[in-house]
């Protein structure tokens, strides 16, 4: 059994992860970490997730549990994830990271840390979304610069980063497939007299409303026709199941920086 620790175990995603790990026959929950000042310290993680008592109380520090885990799943915030990644690298523990909002410097640091212990880093752990990334790559190569590309995403009102990490990844996939630098050509919203659209630009539109788990559409618009590739999430459990699959993928690996394309074996398809 693979011993798994969850950082942010009391959050919505954390509780889903507890449930997914308990349901999987290859993993066992061995640590559940929350913020040090949480009022839930000591509560059993399984009961908090709405299931059976797992005998794993919520604790306030990963360092106190690091020797009890093989892998840590982290869906928290960039500053917390970076601290956890450094600790895991120090102790040779693998990581599955679903946190979004990293700076370019933080992303580079994660790649350096992955030389000490392996990690899967992905803005979206959904199997369906990662299949969409592959479809987008194919569509972008076929359409080239003949299509105007727009990325539209909707999430619940409590999501704090914008555009979503998934939307940015979609833009990166299209940009790379067509030889563009997303940093140069991305347009994050439009207002006023913006002039004629430059064909090379990749636009992003963001909506925050209600309890939408996550909707993403990439539009390729040409003269006379358009293609829309869409993914809609209706259950957060898709992210948890993908994360558990990533945990299994990392077993036996000593180092390496991976994403869900590697986990699903579709990078070279």
Strand partners, 205: 152
Q: How many residues does the chain have?
A: 269
Run of H or E residues at 34? none
Q: Is-catalytic flag, 155?
A: yes
The CB-based long-range contact list for 111-117 (8 Å cut-off, 24+ gap) reads 111/257, 113/85, 113/86, 113/88, 113/89, 114/89, 114/255, 114/256, 114/257, 115/255, 116/89, 116/90, 116/92, 116/255, 117/88, 117/89, 117/91, 117/92, 117/93, 117/254, 117/255
Q: Is-catalytic flag, 156?
A: no
* Structure-block tokens of residue 3: 């011993």
* Rounded Cα–Cα distance for residues 158 and 213 (Å): 10
Edge-to-edge strands, sheet with 202-208: 186-188, 202-208, 148-155, 214-222, 225-233
* Rounded Cα–Cα distance for residues 91 and 203 (Å): 42
| Active-site residue, from 155, 169, 216, 231 | 155
- 3-state SS assignment for residue 199: coil
| Active-site residue, from 77, 91, 159, 253 | 159
196: number of CA atoms within 13 Å, CB side?
2
Annotated catalytic residues are 155, 159
């Amino acid at each position: 059994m693979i011993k798994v620790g969850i950082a942010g175990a009391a959050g919505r995603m954390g509780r889903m992860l507890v449930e997914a790990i308990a349901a999987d026959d290859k993993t066992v929950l061995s640590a559940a970490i929350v913020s040090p000042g949480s009022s839930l310290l000591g509560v059993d993680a399984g009961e908090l997730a709405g299931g059976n008592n797992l005998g794993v109380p919520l604790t306030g520090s990963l360092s106190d549990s690091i020797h009890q885990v093989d892998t840590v799943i982290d869906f928290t915030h960039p500053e917390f994830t970076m601290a956890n990644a450094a600790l895991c690298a120090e102790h040779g523990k693998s990581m599955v990271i679903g946190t979004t909002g990293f700076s370019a410097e933080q992303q580079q640091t994660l790649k350096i840390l992955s030389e000490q212990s392996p990690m899967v880093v992905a803005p979206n752990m959904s199997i369906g979304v990662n299949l969409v990334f592959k479809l987008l790559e194919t569509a972008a190569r076929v359409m080239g610069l003949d299509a105007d590309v727009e990325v539209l995403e909707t999430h619940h009102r409590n999501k704090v980063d914008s555009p979503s990490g998934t939307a940015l990844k979609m833009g990166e996939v299209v940009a790379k497939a067509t030889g563009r630098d997303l940093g140069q050509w991305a347009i994050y919203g439009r207002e006023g007299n913006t002039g004629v659209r430059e064909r090379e630009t990749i636009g992003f539109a963001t909506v925050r409303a209600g309890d939408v788990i996550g909707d993403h559409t990439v539009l390729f618009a040409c003269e006379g026709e358009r293609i829309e590739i869409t993914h809609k999430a209706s259950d957060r459990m898709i992210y948890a199941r993908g994360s558990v699959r990533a945990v299994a993928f990392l077993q036996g690996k000593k180092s390496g920086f991976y994403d869900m394309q590697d986990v699903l074996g579709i990078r070279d398809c």
